[in-house]
Amino acid sequence: MASAAVRIPDPRHTRIPFDFTALGPQIFIHEGARQALERRLELAFGGPVQLAVTDNLRRMVSHTRVRGTRRVRVHMMFLGAPERVRQALVEYVVRGDRRASVVVGEFINANSHRIRASRPVLGPLRTRGNAHDLAEVLAAVNAQYFGGAMGDVLVTWGRHTRPRAKARSTIKLGSYSATERLIRIHPALDREWVPRYFLSYVVFHELLHHVIPAVPGSLHPPALLQREREFRFYERAIVWEQKNIGRLLRSQ
Ligand SMILES: [Zn+2]
For 216-248, give the DSSP string. TTBSS-HHHHHHHTTSTTHHHHHHHHHHHHHHH
pLDDT digits (tens, 9 = 90+) for 170-183: 678 999 988 788 99
Ligand 1 center from residue 131 Cα (angstroms): 24
Ligand 1 center from residue 197 Cα (angstroms): 17
Among 125-129, 167-171, 204-208, 246-250, which is the least confidently predicted range?
A: 167-171
Ligand 1 center from residue 159 Cα (angstroms): 15
pLDDT at 23 over 80: no
Q: What is the C-alpha R_g of the chain? A: 20
Ligand 1 center from residue 177 Cα (angstroms): 11
Contact 165, 252 (CB under 8 A): no
Ligand 1 center from residue 54 Cα (angstroms): 27
- Please, what is the average pLDDT of the chain? 82
What residues contact 85, with CB distance under 8 A and at least 6 apart?
78, 103, 104, 107
pLDDT at 229 over 90: yes
Ligand 1 center from residue 214 Cα (angstroms): 9
Ligand 1 center from residue 221 Cα (angstroms): 10
Contact 251, 191 (CB under 8 A): yes
pLDDT at 117 over 70: no
Ligand 1 center from residue 17 Cα (angstroms): 28
What residues contact 164, with CB distance under 8 A and at least 6 apart?
none
Contact 222, 191 (CB under 8 A): no
Ligand 1 center from residue 218 Cα (angstroms): 10
pLDDT at 193 over 90: yes
Rounded to an integer, the average pLDDT of 200-208 is 96
